Amino acid sequence: MTLEYERLGPELQQMAVAAARLRAVQAERAAQLRDVLARRASDWDAIEAGLARAQAEHGADPKFFRAARPLGRDEPLDQPISAPPPPPRATLIATDGSQILPDRHASFLYYLINIGAIIYYHGEPTTPNVISLPSIFYPTIEDDLTDDAPGFDKSEVTIARDRREIETLAALALSEQGSTARTLAVLDQRLLYWPFVGEREKTEEAVFAWTAAMTQIYETGALLAGYIDRPGKASVVTLLQTLLDDPTINLRELGRRPGPGELTDADLYATLLGPGQRSPVFVDVSPANSRFAEEHPLIEVCFFYLNPGSRGQELGSRGQGPGSREEETWGLEASTPDGSSPGPWNLEPGISSPEPGPYALDLGPHPPAPRAARAIARVDIPRWVAEDPAAVAFVHGLIYDQCKLMGDYPYVLARADELAVVGRHDEMNLNLMIDNHMQRLGVPDSLSAAKAGSKDIARAGRTRHEFRPGI
């Protein structure tokens, strides 16, 4: 049976209405914070006082507070910084990981981690080195199979994959230590790594391994960055909220993780950054980052936001600011029910104004919110990079250059992902290889093999299981 899409029409209409109204609220909130940003961009004393006040209010439970602190006083908060030219030569190393999770219904219990890596020689006529490193894990006679075998919990598999990503990155950075070109090691995830697992000991072990790998990369002389293409943090938003002259704001509630639909840093910077531009550099204010600084002061995590795409700012946000391109915006005259003009609406190239249809939207007094610029990315950098302006410019220019190769995403990370990914077809072939090896040694299939075969049929695209009476 196929999905009956027509039944979803009314619900999708309501979903679109809710999303449009939410975006309108977000736009209003973003405008308020941009005003604070403009007024307090270089008021460093007020910024420090606001953070101190919010943290004091959180004194009873500081573990929930998340915010941002400007790294220095040489980059005003409202100053977009254009990308410098990339360095003439550089070595980029990127890793990514994929996995086959353990399946209790498979013939044999195992999981697999595959790490994809690339060493890319920017500015040199040298073919990149590409690497794929698969590893398989399985229970042994020492493991208790009455329950999940050690390391066979899905969260633990994820942690093992993450650990191998950064440890492989550290090993490759060491291998390039003698290179005459400066090296940048890049991960496709945050640097402030803090997994959520049930046991404190496992969390501590994972964090220690992660910070140890960061320290190893630092000791090689390489730079390090984590690239997050869909960031959901609201650390800068929290910082600006501490500066609002609004007595209704409950400081004790600030700094918590943003809920669904709440304004994020990416929402804010979509209206502030033109193509290639970055925000000032901030220090992550959180208990986890304090722990990183305790392990090694120079691995404390800082970050900046980056517009990696080719499109400028929204119309109606700050006008034609730096980096925006007027020829890539399309104004559409419209009017609200009272006859006033809501201002220009942003449309994609080749997209005309919405036409009434069977599910025409009635948004009431709110016109559709302008389309955002390209998705804003966050770039995490450790303090040893953040405190060196030349290193920050190196990372900024090189990552943006990599993004231009792909449109809005670093090429080396896209390539590492291609090398790492393990699909369903790979899993089925691997299971056949496992079966062959087991049969050679006379190891019988488990009783759950029949169920596993049934699942394989469905996942391969079959929609029906053939039933033959009497067989």
The 8-class DSSP code of residue 362 comes to -
Question: 133 Cβ partners below 8 Å, 6+ apart?
Answer: 114, 115, 116, 117, 164, 168
SS (H, E, C) 160-173: HHHHHHHHHHHHHH
Question: 72 Cβ partners below 8 Å, 6+ apart?
Answer: 281
For the chain, give every domain's residue range: 11-320+358-422, 426-459
Cα 252 to Cα 56: distance, rounded to the nearest angstrom: 9
Taking alpha carbons only, the member of 131, 109, 111 closest to residue 119 is: 131
At 2, list the tokens. 């196929």
129-137, strands of its sheet edge to edge? 67-70, 282-285, 301-306, 377-382, 223-228, 183-187, 90-100, 111-122, 129-137
Other Cβ atoms closer than 10 A to 324: 21
Taking alpha carbons only, the member of 242, 240, 248 closest to residue 53 is: 242
Q: Which CB contacts under 8 angstroms, 24+ apart, belong to 389-392?
A: 391/223, 392/281, 392/304
Q: Describe the chain by its helix, strand, coil percentages, rounded to 5.
A: 40, 15, 45
- Angle at which helix 154-175 crosses helix 200-220, to 10 degrees, equals 10
C-alpha angle 166-290-212 in degrees, rounded to nearest 5: 30
pLDDT in tens, 240-275: 988 887 766 666 667 677 766 688 999 999 989 999
Cα 118 to Cα 241: distance, rounded to the nearest angstrom: 41
Sign, CA dihedral 467-468-470-471, equals negative
Q: Look up the pTM and report it.
A: 0.78
At 368, list the tokens. 């559709």
Helix residue ranges, H only, 389-464: 389-406, 411-420, 424-440, 449-459
pLDDT on residue 471: 43
Cα 298 to Cα 167: distance, rounded to the nearest angstrom: 18
Give me the tens of pLDDT residue by residue for the chain, a chain 471 residues long. Answer: 578 888 898 899 999 999 898 888 888 888 889 999 999 999 999 999 988 888 776 554 567 788 999 999 999 999 999 999 999 999 999 999 999 888 877 777 888 899 999 999 999 999 999 999 999 988 776 655 555 555 577 888 999 999 999 999 999 999 999 888 999 999 999 999 998 766 788 888 999 999 999 999 999 999 999 999 989 899 999 999 888 877 666 666 676 777 666 889 999 999 899 999 999 999 999 989 999 999 899 999 999 999 998 654 443 343 333 333 222 222 222 333 333 333 332 323 333 333 333 333 333 443 433 444 458 999 999 999 999 999 999 999 999 999 999 888 999 999 999 999 998 888 888 888 888 888 888 887 653 444 445 455 455 555 444 444 544
pLDDT on residue 450: 44
